[in-house]
C-alpha cells in the first residue's frame, strides 16, 4: 500500500486471513501525519512538576515527518491481527485499548501489521510520542494532550472509575490524537536512559539498558503524574492491565525527508518583547544561527530584572544560573526554538571564523578594564574617589575554557550564547 504524500490523515483497512471484516464490521486504522520540526522535550515550564524528576533536563529535539495512530490499539484490532493470541479483556468491549501486552508482544504485532498492510509499522520513539502528544507544530503548550484540564481530555484516576474506556471518547489534542493522556500508558520503542543532549535529528533513546520507555499516564494515575513529559520504564517482558500501545511509521520515500533548506541570510534578528537578539548563520550538517554573547542589558530588558550576580555592568556577557530559563522564556515569546549553545556548536562557529575564539587572558583584562571604567565614572558622578577598589567581582581565570563547558549552569564564569535552528 502506497500512501499519497498529500494526505494528512489516512484510513488503512485491515485484511487478515482472507477476511474483509471482523465480527461483520470493517476495521480501519487511522494514521495522522505529523510534520517534522523542533521542540523542547522534557521538563519545560508548562510541564514541570516538583514530584517528577526523570524528565529533566528540557532539551531541543529535531524530528522528521512521520505518521502516528490517532488512537491506541484496540481489542478488536488486536484480535484481527493476532487471532491466535489469547488476551485478558472483558467481553463486549471491542473498542477499549488492548492491555496485558509486553513490549515484545508489540514488536510481533507491528511485524504482522507490516506484512498485512505493506507499511513499515513500528512503535513510536519517545521523542515522536511526546512531540505528537504536545500537538506537533500546532502545539498550544498545554500540560496535557489537548488541554490543561486532564478530566476533559483523558481518563485518569479522577474520572475513569479505575477502569479503561473505549477510545476516542474524550476531546482530541491539536493534531486530532485521542487518549495520549490517560486510558492506558503506551509502550515506546526506546531503551530507557538519561536524555542524550545531542542535536542529531530523530533521537532513539539510550544505547544500552534493560528497560523500555512507557509514556502517557493511565486510568489509575493521578493528574500530577499524567502530564506530557512524565517518563516511566518497565522491563520489556512486563505486561499489565494499564499498559497498551499505539503504532507509527515513517515513509522512507517521503519527499519531506530530503528537504533542502535555502541558503539563509548571514544574519537574522529575532524580536522578543520589542528587543532584538541577533543571530549569525553557521554552515553545518544542521545549519543553525548562533548569537553573540547575551549582555546584561538585554537580560534586564527581557526578564525585567537584574542579572543574577553581583556584576551590574550592562555591557558584560551574561552568565550564571538562569541561562536555561532565559532560553525557554525567549522560545515562548518568539516563533523560534531558542536554547543555549553547546560546546560543539561554539567550536564549529569558531573554526569557521563566524565568532572570535575565546581568549581567556585578553577577555579577563577587557572585562576588568570595562568594569573599572564604569565604576570609576559612577564614583566620579557620585563625587566619590574614582580609585576606590572594586571588590567581590568574579572574573574568568586565564586558563578557563569558558565557551567549551556548559555542564555547570550555576558557574558565573560561563557566558551565555543562544542558538536557533533553521
Same domain, 235 and 322: no
Which of 257, 289, 324 is the C-terminal boundary of a domain?
A: 257
Q: How many CB atoms lie within 10 A of CB 338?
A: 25
- How far, in Å, CA of 302 to CA of 275, rounded? 7
Q: Are residues 251 and 294 in the same domain?
A: no
Distance CA 321, CA 333 (A): 20
Domain for residue 29, yes or no?
yes
Is residue 312 in some structural domain?
yes
Is 261 exposed, middle or buried, given 0-12, 13-18 or 19+ CB atoms closer than 10 A?
A: exposed
Phi/psi for 59 (5° steps) reads: -150, 155
Each residue of 208-226: pLDDT tens digit?
899 999 999 899 888 888 8
Q: Is residue 72 located within the same domain as residue 180?
A: yes
Listed residue (258, 265, 341) closest to 36, CA to CA = 258
Final residue before a domain boundary, out of 257, 287, 313: 257
pLDDT confidence bin for 51, thresholds 50/70/90:
low
Are the CB atoms for 97 and 183 separated by under 8 Å? yes
Residues 344 and 209 in one domain: no
Whole-number pLDDT of residue 397: 39
User: Both 37 and 150 in a single domain?
Assistant: yes
Residues 117 and 221 in one domain: yes
In a domain, 91, yes or no: yes
Q: Does residue 1 sit within a domain? A: no
pLDDT confidence of residue 421: 62
Q: What is the pTM of this model?
A: 0.65
On whether both 380 and 294 belong to a single domain, the answer is yes
Express each pLDDT in 62-84 by its tens digit. Answer: 888 999 999 999 998 998 888 88
**Over 70: is that where the pLDDT of 5 sits?**
no
Q: Are residues 72 and 201 in the same domain?
A: yes
**61 and 203 fall within a common domain:** yes
CATH number at residue 91: 3.90.1580.10
Q: Which domain holds residue 278?
A: 267-421
- Rounded to an integer, what distance in angstroms lies between the CA atom of residue 418 and that of residue 193? 27
Residues 359-379: tens digit of each pLDDT: 554 455 555 556 566 656 666
Q: Do 237 and 293 belong to one domain?
A: no
Q: What is the pLDDT, as a whole number, of residue 349?
A: 79
Q: What is the Cα–Cα distance from 360 to 65, expressed in whole angstroms?
A: 43
Residue 227 lies in a domain: yes
162 and 272 share a domain? no
If asked whether residues 285 and 250 sit together in one domain, one would say: no
Residue 157 has pLDDT above 80, yes or no: yes
Q: What are phi and psi of 12, to 5 degrees?
A: -105, 120
Domain count, the chain: 2
Q: How far is it, in rounded angstroms, from Cα 355 to Cα 363?
A: 14
Amino acid at each position: 500500500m502506497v500512501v499519497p504524500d498529500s494526505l494528512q490523515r489516512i484510513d488503512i483497512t485491515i485484511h487478515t486471513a482472507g477476511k474483509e471484516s471482523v465480527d461483520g464490521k470493517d476495521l480501519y486504522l487511522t494514521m495522522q501525519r505529523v510534520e517534522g520540526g523542533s521542540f523542547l522535550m522534557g521538563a519545560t515550564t508548562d510541564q514541570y512538576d516538583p514530584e517528577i524528576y526523570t524528565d529533566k533536563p528540557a532539551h531541543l529535539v529535531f524530528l522528521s515527518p512521520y505518521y502516528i495512530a490517532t488512537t491506541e490499539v484496540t481489542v478488536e484490532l488486536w484480535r484481527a491481527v493476532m487471532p491466535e493470541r489469547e488476551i485478558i479483556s472483558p467481553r463486549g468491549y471491542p473498542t477499549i485499548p488492548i492491555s496485558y501486552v509486553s513490549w515484545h508482544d508489540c514488536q510481533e504485532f507491528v511485524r504482522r501489521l507490516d506484512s498485512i498492510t505493506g507499511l513499515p509499522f513500528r512503535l513510536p520513539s519517545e521523542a515522536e510520542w511526546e512531540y505528537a502528544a504536545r500537538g506537533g507544530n500546532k502545539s498550544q503548550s498545554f500540560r496535557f494532550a489537548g488541554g490543561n484540564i486532564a478530566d476533559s481530555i483523558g481518563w485518569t484516576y479522577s474520572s475513569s472509575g479505575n477502569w479503561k474506556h473505549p477510545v476516542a471518547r474524550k476531546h482530541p489534542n491539536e493534531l486530532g490524537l485521542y487518549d495520549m493522556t490517560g486510558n492506558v500508558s503506551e509502550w515506546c520503542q526506546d531503551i530507557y536512559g538519561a536524555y542524550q543532549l545531542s542535536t542529531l535529528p530523530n533521537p532513539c533513546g539510550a544505547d544500552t539498558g534493560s528497560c523500555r520507555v512507557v509514556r502517557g499516564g493511565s486510568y489509575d494515575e493521578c493528574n500530577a503524574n499524567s502530564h506530557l513529559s512524565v517518563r516511566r520504564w518497565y522491563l520489556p517482558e512486563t505486561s499489565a492491565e494499564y499498559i497498551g500501545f499505539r503504532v507509527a511509521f515513517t515513509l522512507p520515500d517521503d519527499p519531506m525527508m530530503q528537504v533542502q533548506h535555502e541558503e539563509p541570510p548571514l544574519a537574522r534578528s529575532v524580536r522578543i518583547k520589542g528587543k532584538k537578539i541577533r543571530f549569525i548563520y553557521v554552515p553545518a550538517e544542521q545549519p543553525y544561527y548562533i548569537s553573540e554573547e547575551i549582555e546584561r542589558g538585554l537580560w534586564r530588558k527581557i526578564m525585567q530584572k537584574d542579572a543574577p550576580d553581583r556584576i551590574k555592568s550592562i555591557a558584560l556577557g551574561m552568565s550564571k544560573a538562569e541561562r536555561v530559563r532565559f532560553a525557554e522564556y525567549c522560545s515562548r515569546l518568539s516563533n523560534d526554538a531558542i536554547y543555549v549553545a553547546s560546546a560543539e556548536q561554539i567550536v564549529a562557529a569558531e573554526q569557521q571564523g563566524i565568532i572570535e575564539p575565546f581568549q581567556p587572558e585578553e577577555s579577563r583584562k577587557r572585562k576588568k578594564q570595562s568594569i573599572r571604567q564604569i565604576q570609576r565614572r559612577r564614583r566620579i558622578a557620585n563625587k566619590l574617589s574614582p580609585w576606590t577598589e572594586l571588590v567581590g567581582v568574579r572574573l574568568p581565570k586565564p586558563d578557563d575554557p569558558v565557551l567549551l563547558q556548559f555542564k555547570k549552569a550555576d558557574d558565573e564564569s560561563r557566558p551565555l550564547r543562544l542558538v536557533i535552528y533553521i
